[in-house]
């Protein structure tokens, strides 16, 4: 058959005239109409989608159980405007009877929350009004971000159209060095191919180093596929994926695999054993280099969290470095668990105590500073090392501030040293 994983998932969702799905294979470049399994929006994008939904003249969403809304960007509300946004979403969810509306107290950062709740499963086709919807590719799903108008149509019809993307396969060999994780692999990869290197392509991640990578690391890599311009980032389902999904899944799912002779646009081989902990310098994720080559970069802030690195494993790594140590004078260290469950698990493990004793502050789950929202806005001339996914000019505050992207180990070590630092400088 010679089809990639992305092509197989899309083919299984192609809409037929009789109302069913699946018409055989699809090929890159085909324009297809597909049924969706999950439609996602948040407190920034949902209000736009709701207004467009009303213009369609449709009273009810196509399936309340497949429409998910999460208040995570400016919630708990930081001002009147954000309060009004969340109030609109709350009313819509009540009127439509949406069982998967996550408000304050239940919400988390959406791309950590949905897999945790078992709302995205292998073989799914997922769209979201947020560019980092591609995170769910770690579960062997085809997940991609779309505009709020597309989301409105999907809420009404359960369908969207798309062009089938070509796939670039990235094969990672070798064993990872200490302190190197999924964030380092994806920063290195983006540095290799650039922020447009996979434009409208699917990125498929494979190889021995990927087989040994944790689910948290896989979510991180899929999350940042969009930073290379990709339509989606996907992993094959293996035993680790199945172990993660079992106990969370509340519906049937279908595991799909690409064909052994699948046709790829390109195959990129990377020796992961040669990759050091990475840092992306301002103002693009592609400006990646080993932390040992960054030089003396004094920081004002360290952010540990986000949909990229706000999972329990990430907090464990950071806490392991901060334990028994103090955040450097003049550095603000902000820790943001990805969900309420992550927060609770971190509390029970003593991680929250470790952070507070080290001089860090712990926030309720929120996107917060990642998009320059709140809980860590930078002033002119300030620098932050951050486990978030973007470091565009002005992304975290003033246009004259700087954001340096890293994994949780480098972010925690830098918080202690007061400058961007290799974790071994702190732990040796």
Domain ranges of the chain: 5-269, 279-427
Q: Which of 395, 347, 338 is nearest to 367 (CA)?
A: 338
- Write the pLDDT tens digit of every residue in 77-94: 989 999 999 999 999 999
Tell me whether strands 301-305 and 332-336 are parallel, antiparallel or unpaired. parallel
CATH number of 5-269: 3.30.499.10
What is the radius of gyration, based on Cα positions, of the chain?
21
Looking at the predicted structure, is the pLDDT value of residue 179 above 60? yes
Q: Which of 125, 288, 142, 291 is nearest to 203 (CA)?
A: 142
Looking at the predicted structure, is the pLDDT value of residue 18 above 50? no
Say what the pLDDT of residue 355 is.
98
CA 107 to chain CA centroid, Å, is 16
Say what the pLDDT of residue 1 is.
63
Provide the pLDDT confidence category of residue 201 given band limits of 50, 70 and 90. very high
Looking at the predicted structure, is the pLDDT value of residue 17 above 60? no
Say what the pLDDT of residue 93 is.
97
Give me the chain's average pLDDT, please.
95
Range 110-130 average pLDDT: 97
**Mutual angle of helices 312-322 and 215-223, in 10-degree steps:** 100
Task: Evaluate whether 5-269 and 279-427 have a shared fold.
Answer: yes
Say what the pLDDT of residue 166 is.
97
- Write the pLDDT tens digit of every residue in 370-388: 989 999 999 999 999 999 9
For domain 279-427, is the CATH number 3.30.1450.10? no
Say what the pLDDT of residue 319 is.
98
Provide the pLDDT confidence category of residue 327 given band limits of 50, 70 and 90. very high
Looking at the predicted structure, is the pLDDT value of residue 286 above 70? yes
Range 121-127 average pLDDT: 98
Say what the pLDDT of residue 25 is.
80
Provide the pLDDT confidence category of residue 114 given band limits of 50, 70 and 90. very high
Pairwise CA distance, residues 240 & 272, whole Å? 20
**What are the DSSP E strand ranges found in 380-420?**
383-386, 402-405
Range 357-363 average pLDDT: 97
- Write the pLDDT tens digit of every residue in 22-72: 546 899 999 999 999 999 999 999 999 999 999 999 999 999 999 999 999
Is the pTM here over 0.85, yes or no? yes
Range 160-178 average pLDDT: 97
Provide the pLDDT confidence category of residue 16 given band limits of 50, 70 and 90. low
Looking at the predicted structure, is the pLDDT value of residue 19 above 90? no
Residue 279, SS3?
strand
Compute CA distances 316 → 287, 364, 408, whole Å: 27, 17, 9
């Amino acid at each position: 058959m010679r089809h990639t994983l992305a092509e197989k998932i899309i083919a299984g969702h192609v809409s037929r005239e009789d109302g069913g799905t699946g018409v055989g294979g699809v090929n890159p470049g085909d324009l297809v109409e597909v049924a969706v399994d999950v439609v996602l929006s948040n407190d920034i994008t949902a209000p736009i989608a709701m207004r467009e939904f009303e213009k369609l003249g449709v009273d009810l969403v196509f399936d309340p159980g497949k429409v998910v809304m999460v208040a995570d960007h400016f919630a708990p509300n930081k001002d009147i405007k954000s309060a009004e946004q969340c109030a609109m979403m709350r009313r819509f969810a009540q009127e439509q009877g949406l069982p998967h509306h996550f408000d304050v107290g239940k919400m988390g950062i959406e791309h950590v929350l949905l897999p945790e709740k078992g709302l995205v499963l292998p073989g799914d086709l997922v769209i979201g009004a947020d560019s980092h919807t591609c995170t769910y590719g770690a579960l062997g799903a085809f997940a991609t971000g779309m505009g709020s108008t597309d989301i409105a149509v999907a809420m009404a019809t359960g369908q969207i159209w798309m062009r089938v993307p070509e796939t670039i396969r990235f094969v990672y060999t070798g064993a990872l060095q200490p302190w190197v994780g999924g964030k380092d692999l994806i920063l290195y990869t983006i540095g290799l191919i650039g922020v447009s290197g996979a434009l409208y392509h699917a990125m498929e991640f494979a190889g021995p180093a990927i087989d040994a990578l944790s689910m948290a690391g896989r979510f991180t890599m899929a999350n940042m596929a969009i930073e290379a311009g990709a339509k989606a980032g996907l992993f094959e389902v293996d035993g680790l994926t199945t172990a993660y999904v079992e106990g969370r899944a509340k519906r049937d799912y279908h595991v799909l695999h690409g064909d052994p002779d699948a046709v790829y646009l390109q195959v990129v081989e990377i020796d992961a054993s040669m990759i050091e902990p990475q840092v992306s310098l301002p103002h693009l994720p592609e400006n990646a280099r080993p932390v040992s080559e960054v030089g003396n970069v004094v920081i004002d802030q360290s952010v540990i969290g986000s949909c990229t690195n706000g999972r329990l494993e990430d907090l464990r790594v950071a806490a392991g470095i901060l334990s028994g140590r103090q955040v450097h004078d003049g550095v603000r260290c902000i820790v943001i668990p990805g969900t309420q469950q992550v927060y609770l698990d971190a509390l029970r493990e003593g991680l929250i105590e470790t952070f507070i004793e080290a001089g860090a502050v712990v926030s309720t789950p929120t996107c917060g500073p990642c998009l320059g929202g709140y809980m860590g806005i930078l002033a002119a001339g300030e620098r932050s090392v951050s486990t978030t996914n973007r470091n565009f000019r002005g992304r975290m505050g003033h246009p004259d501030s700087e954001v340096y992207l890293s994994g949780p180990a480098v972010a925690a070590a830098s918080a202690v040293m007061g400058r961007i630092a290799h974790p071994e400088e702190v732990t040796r």
